[in-house]
Amino acid sequence: MNKVTIQELIDLANENLNELQLRDGYIHFYHHRAFQPISNFYREKSELFYCSELMDELRSHYQELFYFGSISRKTLCWRLRGLGIINEVYKTGGFAWKVFSIKKESLLSSYYKKILTEFLSSLGDIRRIGIYRSITERYFLFLTTHGHSTIGIVSPVVIRSFIVDISTSRPKTMDDVVTVLRKIHMYLREEGLLDIRFEPILFVPRARDKKVLPCFSPEELNLILKQVNTETPAGKRDNAIIQLGISTGLRAGDITNLKLTDVDWINNEIYLIQGKTKQPLSLPLEERTGNAIIDYILNGRPKSESSYIFLRSLAPYHKFQDGVAISCVFRKYLKSAGISHTVGDGKTFHGLRRTLGTEMVVQGIPITTVSQVLGHHSPEAAKQYISLDTNGLKQCALSFGTIGEVRV
């Protein structure tokens, strides 16, 4: 395509959405949350025709609005979807369905993208490359939104400001943040891009915070399960997911990637390769949980050729993108149950895993067995979830026989 109006592209994008047989309400969301802001922006600029420079300007505008709190992350995600779809429609005349997200849609300028790519390449084949990418992107975004369009004008004060800023949202991963900042600034020094004395800030020993994170009580778990309407397809799916979390302690990401072939119905067991450790794991499938999964597969799961058990409830019927989607589903029921949640209080889907581990220790199950059930490399790894303080554990003690039995 050459010269085409922005409205023509929006109309073409809507046609593509209709061809995917999405629900009318979902298409309505796309039009008003993703495309309408683009149309409004072009109108303000008195521009009728698509312009890549204007699209880049709008992306930067969205970026600033989100960073300074003027729009939510959800709103930003919708608007980035709109930009991605319109750009693809302009270039190809249509678009292939995909999940647009902040992870995939980088907010960085081409200048910082280049540095990021070269920095990650310099690290070689390391296991936690995703952590390095995430934190470095966050750092470069911070620099951009605070007026540092190039790396050469960054000072130690700016590094300190970033650490303070990110600590409010990632208090548990500050060791990772500092490690990545060390690596990136050593790389910048070696490449002659920036040579400042960052050592006094990034090599200061940090005291580690150690505390016992709370877990769920039996009453809270039953209250959460009561919020699930198991008469609907989505409710059957969500009930099976939550029951899995309660009875097996599986991570959200592993439940996301669970396949139909991972369940041995004859022996009532689940076999999988863990996403985090890449190690095989075999777990017994408790009867109530197995029945919930069967109910979903037979009576709630959309007709699909997908090999994954749990699918989206709206077309196209793909599996969840990642464990974050399951965490969002769980958070919906947590809110519906009236259970308050703040950062660090343990009231998350991962809290189900901690609750299971805590209950097993209280019941006298050896820590080595607990580690095996939770899929850890060693018993030491289980201690980040479970305190061996008997008095503290008794406060979290559960009777799993009562979980999920009382329904409304």
Q: Which of 125-139, 157-171, 391-405 bottoms out in mean pLDDT, i.e. has the lowest?
A: 391-405
Question: pLDDT confidence of 362, banded at 50, 70, 90?
Answer: low
Least confident of 52-66, 109-123, 183-197, 354-368: 354-368
376 included as an active-site residue: yes
Rounded to an integer, what distance in angstroms lies between the CA atom of residue 272 and that of residue 254?
8
Q: Is 385 a catalytic residue?
A: yes
The single residue of 81, 138, 350, 354 carrying the catalytic annotation is 350
Question: 154 with 274, same domain?
Answer: no
Q: Is 335 a catalytic residue?
A: no
366 close to 184: Cβ distance less than 8 angstroms: no
- Could you tell me the strand order of the sheet in which 280-284 lies? 263-264, 269-273, 280-284
C-beta atoms surrounding 125 within 10 Å: 5
Q: What's the rounded Cα separation, in Å, for the pair 103 and 76?
A: 12
Pick left, alpha or beta for residue 244 (phi over 0 → left; psi -120 to 50 → alpha; otherwise beta). alpha
Q: Nearest to residue 148, comparing CAs of 186, 95, 194?
A: 194
**CATH number of the domain encompassing residue 116:** 1.10.150
Instruction: Tell me which of 133, 236, 301, 376 is the catalytic residue.
Output: 376
Same domain membership, residue 312 and residue 367: yes
**CATH label of the domain that carries residue 267:** 1.10.443.10
pLDDT digits over 109-125, tens only?
A: 889 999 999 999 999 88
pLDDT at residue 40 in the model? 92
* Residue that finishes a domain, picked among 176, 202, 228: 202
pLDDT at residue 27, rounded to an integer = 80
DSSP string for 332-389: HHHHHTT----TTSS-SHHHHHHHHHHHHHHTT--HHHHHHHHT-SSHHHHTTT----
Cross-strand pairs, 311: 319
Would the pLDDT of 180 be above 60? yes
Of residues 10 and 17, more confidence is placed in 10
Higher local confidence (pLDDT), 371 or 166:
166
Residues 133 and 72 in one domain: no
| pLDDT surpassing 90 at residue 240 | yes
Q: For this structure, is 353 an active site residue?
A: yes
Output 139 or 68, whichever has higher pLDDT: 139
pLDDT band at 172 (very low <50, low <70, confident <90, very high): low
Q: Is residue 170 part of a domain?
A: yes
**Tens digits of residue pLDDT in 205-223:** 655 555 556 678 888 999 9
The whole-number pLDDT of residue 105 equals 46
Active-site residue, from 81, 251, 312, 319: 251
Q: What is the mean pLDDT of the segment spanning 46-51?
A: 91
The count of structural domains within the chain is 3
Among 66, 92, 118, the domain-final residue is: 92
The predicted-structure confidence for 241-283, as pLDDT tens digits, reads as follows 999 998 888 889 999 999 999 999 999 999 989 888 888 888 8
CA 43 – CA 58 distance, rounded (Å)? 13
**For all residues of the chain together, what is the average pLDDT?**
82
Catalytic residue among 276, 332, 335, 394: 276
Residue 276: active-site member: yes
Torsion sign (Cα): 195, 200, 204, 209: negative
Q: Which domain holds residue 175?
A: 110-202
- The β-bridge partners of 259 are 308
257 & 339 share domain: yes
